[in-house]
Amino acid sequence: MQPIDLRSDTVTHPTPEMREAMARAAVGDDVYGEDPTVNALEALAAEMTGKEAGLFVPSGTMGNLTAVLSHCGRGDEVILGTQSHTFLHEAGGISALGGVHSCQIPNQPDGTLALEDIRAAIRTEDIHHPVSRLLCLENTHNDCGGVPLSGEYTRSAAEIAHQHGMAVHLDGARLFNAATALGVSAADLAAPVDSVTFCLSKGLCAPVGSVLCGSGAFIGRARRIRKQLGGGMRQAGVLAAAGLIALEKMTLRLEEDHRRARLLAEGLQTVPGLLLDKGMPLTNMVYLALSEAVPLSAFRIADRLREDGILVGPRDARHFRLVTHYWIDDPAVEKTVSAFRAALS
């Protein structure tokens, strides 16, 4: 039996339709720019994010790294959130590989960076200072509970950066979840920023890949950086074929995942000992905390759930993150609530 895997939406397997499209995909050498399926994916991604051009990359991490290295030189500074994926979960790549300095400012509970904090972080002209070159935002904000950031907020933050000659990059790993939750288009949310990445391989179910989008000139630079990082792939059309279905079809069904996240949260809220750590989910992530009365650790509870065929992600000894996706149906939600109830009783 397939486990009910709520650890992340990265665990999603490709759909049967994707597997068929992958088998049939027209391919070519993408480093030569000759893979028609990759070219089609990049064009569609650019159109859907409202940018001139797109670049298919193997992962979201490489998409963000490529973006930062395309915007910044060694010793330049990027302003980002203390809870941002790029700061916390990308192995320090921007510093290790790009020599890019980071200025971290606190994320607010709603995933935003306070506008006054951004203003205060921007360096003045002084030879002692690194040059503030880039502002990075994240939408949805993963560690802040999968919260969507409004286009209005993004516009205000980007305006400050642009006034100071800085560029803005949006880590939109789950940009389409944000757009769905807010009832706007991905292009609306990305309009104020200079570059944006989103993942095909999370809630959109493709097996591999992200797309970085921006102006034609920016993507031209990014194409060289991707090659430098070893991310130039050859007959990548077999992967892009799944990505096309991800964009054309899977973006249309994300509300189902959000509805199930709410259903899961409502159910788990009734289990004694469980608290919704970051409120009712707005997208596909449910963050849970154990109340002080619970003697078991989150790791121990996760072990018990595993015996029932349910995989959840303990974040530490007292917290979990559960993520809904294409392969989680209504019965899986019910079973998960029952299993938590049994494990805690």
Ligand X SMILES: *Cc1c(COP(=O)(O)O)cnc(C)c1O
Question: In the complex, what is the shortest distance from the CB of residue 295 to ligand X, in angstroms, rounded to a whole number?
Answer: 32
Tell me the per-residue interface mask from 66 to 95 with ligand X, x by CB under 6 A, - otherwise. Answer: -------------------x----------
Q: If binding is defined by CB under 6 A, does position 195 make contact with ligand X?
A: no
Which position among 44, 144, 157, 173 is part of the footprint of ligand X (CB under 6 A)?
A: 173
User: Binding segment for ligand X among 60-68, 70-78, 126-134, 242-250 (CB under 6 A)?
Assistant: 60-68
Question: In the complex, what is the shortest distance from the CB of residue 40 to ligand X, in angstroms, rounded to a whole number?
Answer: 21
3-state secondary structure the chain: CCCEECCCHHHCCCCHHHHHHHHHCCCCCHHHCCCHHHHHHHHHHHHHHCCCEEEEECCHHHHHHHHHHHHCCCCCEEEEECCCHHHHCCCCHHHHHHCCEEEEECECCCCCECHHHHHHHCCCCCCCCCCEEEEEEECCECCCCCECCCHHHHHHHHHHHHHCCCEEEEECCCHHHHHHHHCCCHHHHHCCCCEEEEECCCCCCCCCCEEEEECHHHHHHHHHHHHHCCCCCCCCHHHHHHHHHHHHCHHHHHHHHHHHHHHHHHHHHCCCCEEECCCCCCCCEEEEEECCCCCCCHHHHHHHHHHCCEECEEEECCEEEEECCCCCCHHHHHHHHHHHHHHHC
Q: If binding is defined by CB under 6 A, does position 12 make contact with ligand X?
A: no
Q: If binding is defined by CB under 6 A, does position 283 make contact with ligand X?
A: no
Question: In the complex, what is the shortest distance from the CB of residue 86 to ligand X, in angstroms, rounded to a whole number?
Answer: 7
Of 148 and 267, which has the nearer Cβ to ligand X? 148
Q: Do residues 258 and 284 lie in contact, with contact meaning Cβ atoms separated by under 8 Å?
A: yes
**Total number of residues that touch ligand X (CB under 6 A):** 13
Residue with smallest beta-carbon separation from ligand X? 60
CA 121 – CA 133 distance, rounded (Å): 11
Which position among 37, 49, 59, 284 is part of the footprint of ligand X (CB under 6 A)?
A: 59
User: Binding segment for ligand X among 59-67, 70-78, 224-232, 272-280 (CB under 6 A)?
Assistant: 59-67
Which position among 5, 76, 138, 257 is part of the footprint of ligand X (CB under 6 A)?
A: 138
Q: If binding is defined by CB under 6 A, does position 260 make contact with ligand X?
A: no
Which position among 12, 15, 49, 61 is part of the footprint of ligand X (CB under 6 A)?
A: 61
Of 147 and 265, which has the nearer Cβ to ligand X? 147
Which position among 30, 37, 42, 60 is part of the footprint of ligand X (CB under 6 A)?
A: 60
Q: Do residues 100 and 78 lie in contact, with contact meaning Cβ atoms separated by under 8 Å?
A: yes
User: Binding segment for ligand X among 43-51, 58-66, 180-188, 316-324 (CB under 6 A)?
Assistant: 58-66
Question: In the complex, what is the shortest distance from the CB of residue 271 to ligand X, in angstroms, rounded to a whole number?
Answer: 27
Q: Which residues are at the interface with ligand X (CB under 6 A)?
A: 10, 59-61, 64, 85, 138, 142, 171, 173, 199, 201, 210
